[in-house]
Amino acid sequence: MREREHQGTAAIIGTFLVAAWLTVLPLPDAVEFGRPTWLALALIYWVIALPHRIGVLWGFAVGLFQDVLTGVVLGQHAVALAVVAYVALAAHKRIRVFPPLQQSVVVFLLTGTGALIAYTVQSAVGRVLVPPVWVLLPALVSALIWRPVFGLLRWVRRRFMVR
């Protein structure tokens, strides 16, 4: 019975690996500042879809993986994504019933909060490269692409019967 309850862990990890690949995929300099926060989007989806399985610990682990992957201050994204996961977990019932536009606003607020936390850690160690307003551009792009990402991850969840 336990195997049926926790089916699809490989699919969840696979979506995080694809999101990590999209995070480090080279982009032209003109659009690099607007790169969506792929790992945060995947985390938000899975927290909303499976709050009993994906939570703050997953957020911390995915953030730590992103820190190692991108070579930034260790713990910067770990703390940011743990906070994002916590807030998404606390409000997952409300977020599920929001209309698409309102969900996108919530995603902007969540990813923006995560980006500002990461920015604060960077500024604390003296590695700030851009003004704080530019940090919110990826959050805006993430909010704009939330519905297609949501639809794709929902398809993955149903296709691989993730429970």
136 vs 49, 113, 114, 130, CA distance in Å?
25, 9, 10, 11
Is 71 in a helix, a strand, or coil? coil
Q: What's the token pair of residue 5?
A: 């309850």
Q: What topology is assigned to 2-159 in CATH?
A: Arp2/3 complex 21 kDa subunit ARPC3 (1.10.1760)
Give the separation between CA 52 and CA 144, rounded to whole angstroms: 27
Is 163 in a helix, a strand, or coil? coil
pLDDT tier at 131 (50, 70, 90 boundaries)? confident
The residue extents of the domains of the chain are 2-159
Is residue 128 predicted with pLDDT exceeding 80?
Answer: no
Is residue 2 predicted with pLDDT exceeding 70?
Answer: no
Q: What's the token pair of residue 60?
A: 């911390």
Residue 5: what pLDDT?
A: 61
Residue 1: what pLDDT?
A: 46
- Which pLDDT tens digit goes with each residue over 23-70? 999 999 889 889 999 999 999 999 999 999 999 999 999 999 999 999
